[in-house]
Amino acid sequence: MRDVPDRPFSYWMEYGDAPAHPPPPDGLDVDVAVIGAGIAGICTAWELARAGKSVALLEADRVAAGVTGNTTAKLSALHGVVYQRLRGTRGREGAALYARSQQDAIGHVVAVCEELGIDCDLERVPAFTYAETHAEAVTVEAEAEAARAAGLPASYVRETGLPFPVAGAVRVEEQAQFHPRKYLYALLADLETRGGQIFEGTRVVGLREGEPCRLTTEDGRTVSARDVVVATHYPVFDRSLLFARLKPHRELVVAGVIPAAQDPGGMYLTPEGSTRSVRTAPHGEGERLLIVTGEKFTPGAGRVEERYERLEQWTTQRFPDVRLTHRWAAQDNEPTDGVPFVGALHPRAHHAFVVAGFNGWGMASGVMAGKLLAARITGQKLPWADLYDPVRLQPLKEAPSLLRFQAAAAGHFVGDRLPFVAGSGPASAITPGAGAVVRSGARHVAVHRDDAGELHALSARCTHLGCLVRFNDGERTWECPCHGSRFGIDGEVLQGPAVRPLERIHDFEDDEK
C-alpha cells in the first residue's frame, strides 16, 4: 500500500520547528562562533557552553533541519565494513580508537538524555551488517573479526530478525536509535539556559582568521570570536583543500507503517544492491515506522525518480504489509581514508576548526565531534584527536581514493568549460515538473518548467567553482556533480559548499510560446 506524497518530506521534520531566532546584532563578540546548526554544530556549541564559554550558533536556514533533519538517525559504531579498511589505512590501533570514539558517543547520548531528562524515543538495539550472497558473506565474516579486534561486542551470525534469509551478518550489541530533532531541541533549550545564543537565517560568507577571528554574513553583519568552528557539513571555507579529499553522495529514504509484530528488532545495513539500510521507530499503538535507505548516487547523476521507485519496490517486496507514507533523501561526504575530519581548519590554524566527512554516520560522529572540538578549544585532548585530525595526510594510503574522487570532479570541472559542451535540447521539450540545462547563445541555462507550465531560468554554473548543475527530478532541485552543492528551482542555496544562489536569468524566452 502506498500513500507517499509527491514531494519528499522527512518524517523527522514533521516534529515541527523550534522557536525562531533572528540574525545576530552587528558587531557581536563571543568566545566561540559555531557555523552550522546540524548535529555536529549543535553538539559542539552545547559542549562549549557547558564548559563555560560564551557561544554563538549561526545557521543559514533553520536549526536541525538540513542534513540532520533528513537522517535515518542510527547511533552505531558498526559502519558497514569500515574496520577492515581502517586496519589497512590507520592500523589496528587506529581502528580501535575509531571504535572507542564511536562507542563513547553513543554512551554520551544515553548519559545526556538521563542528565537532562530528554524523551527522544531512545532505544538500545543491536546493529547488523548483513549479506544475502555467499560471496559477500566472506567479507562480512571478516568484518566481524575486524570489529571484534577493534573492541566492539561483535559476533558473526547467520540468523537475524529480517523477514528474509541472509547468508551472514555482523551483529554488534547495545547500539542505539533515536529521534534526532527531539534530542537536539532539548540541547538547544539547555544551550540558551547556559547563555548560548542561537541565530537563524544567517549565512556566513566570510572568515578572517586572527585574534579574534571575524565572520561576515551575507547581509554584511560581523561577528567576532576567539575561536570559530565550521560545521557546515561540506566546509564553506576550505583552506585545507578538503574538497579534494571528500566525495559527496546522496541516498534515498522511504518510510511507512508496519505492524509492531513485524519489527525486525535492530538496525540493518547491507553494502549489496546499491546499499540497503533498515530500521524502525516508535509510531503508534501496535505499529512501528519502517525506515529503508538506499540507492546511493552522486549528486547530479539524474533519474532520481526511478531510484525512488526501485527503493519502494524493494521495500514492499521484503515487507509486504508496509503502508508507505514518506520519502526523502540524505546527503553526506566520503573521506579518502574512511575517517571524518575533525580538528584544525588547516595546518597553520590556531583558532579555526572544521568538522566534515561523516560518510553516512553523522549521528554518533556528530556527537563525537562536539566532544572532541570542545575539548580541543578548552585546552584538553581526547585519545582519538590525532585519528580525526584534518591535517593528517597519508599520500600512499589515501592516493587511490584521492584519484578516484577527483577523476569525476575533474571531468566535470574541465569538461563543463569546453566551448562545444551542448545542452540537452530546446526548452520546449521540458515537460511540467521537469528541468534541464539548455544552451542560449553562449550561456548554459538551468530551466525548470513548473506544474503550471511557467519556466524558471537560472545560470547553470554552480556558484562554488563553476561546474554545470544537473536537475534532480525526484526532489525538483539543481545539483552540482563536482562537490554536491544543491539549489532550489529559483536558485536559492539548499546545501553548500556554495554560499551564493544561482543567478536568475530574466531575459530567457520560452521557445514554446
Model confidence at 511, pLDDT cuts 50, 70, 90, reads low
pLDDT number for residue 496: 82
Confidence class for position 465, pLDDT limits 50, 70, 90: confident
Lowest mean pLDDT segment, chosen from 31-40, 41-50, 396-405, 480-489 = 396-405
Q: Is the pLDDT of residue 160 over 50?
A: yes
CATH class of 427-495: mainly beta
Three-state SS string across 15-41, please?
HCCCCCCCCCCCCEEEEEEEECCCHHH
Q: Mean per-residue pLDDT for 293-301?
A: 90
Name the least confident of 154-168, 169-183, 424-438, 486-500.
424-438
| Residue 426: per-residue pLDDT | 79
Tell which residue, 395, 411, 413, 404, has the closest CA to residue 467: 413
Q: Which of 50-59, 84-93, 271-280 has the highest mean pLDDT?
A: 50-59
**Contact indicator for 293, 72 with CB cutoff of 8 Å:** yes
Q: Is 327:252 a contact under the CB 8 Å cutoff?
A: yes
Instruction: Quickly state the pLDDT bin for 413 (edges 50, 70, 90).
Output: very low
Report the share of the chain in percent with pLDDT over 70: 91
pLDDT of 310: 95
Instruction: Name the 3-class secondary structure at 282.
Output: strand
Between CA 487 and CA 497, with CA 493 as vertex, the angle to 5 degrees is: 100
- Across 292-302, average pLDDT: 90
Local confidence band at 418 (pLDDT 50, 70, 90 cut-offs) = very low
Burial 408-423 (b: 16+ CB within 10 A, else e): ebeebbeebeeeeeeb
pLDDT at 6 (0 to 100) = 65
In the predicted model, what is the mean pLDDT of residues 290-295? 96
User: Is pLDDT larger for residue 88 or for residue 426?
Assistant: 88
Q: Give the burial class of 348: count Cβ atoms within 10 A of its Cβ; 0-12 exposed, 13-18 middle, 19 or more buried.
A: exposed
Domain positions in the chain are 427-495
Candidate from 153-157, 249-253, 404-408 with smallest mean pLDDT: 404-408
51-65, 81-95, 221-235, 402-416, range with the lowest pLDDT: 402-416
Residue 141: band (very low, low, confident or very high) from pLDDT cuts 50, 70, 90: very high
Round the CA-based radius of gyration of the chain to a whole number and report it.
23
Give me the pLDDT at residue 251, please: 94
- pLDDT for res 2: 57
Average pLDDT over residues 317-338: 93
| Percent with pLDDT over 90 in the chain | 72
pLDDT tens-digit series, residues 110-125 = 999 999 999 999 999 9
Mean pLDDT of 15-29: 91
The reported pLDDT for the residue numbered 374 is 98
**Which pLDDT band holds residue 214 (cuts at 50, 70, 90)?**
very high
Q: What is the pLDDT of residue 401?
A: 56
Is the bond into 212 cis (omega within 30 degrees of 0)? yes
Q: pTM, whole model, 2 decimals?
A: 0.91
pLDDT mean across residues, the chain: 90
Q: Could you tell me which residues are beta bridge partners of residue 456?
A: 448
Strands 246-259 and 287-297 turn out to be: antiparallel
More confident residue, 363 or 414: 363
Residue 420 pLDDT: 47
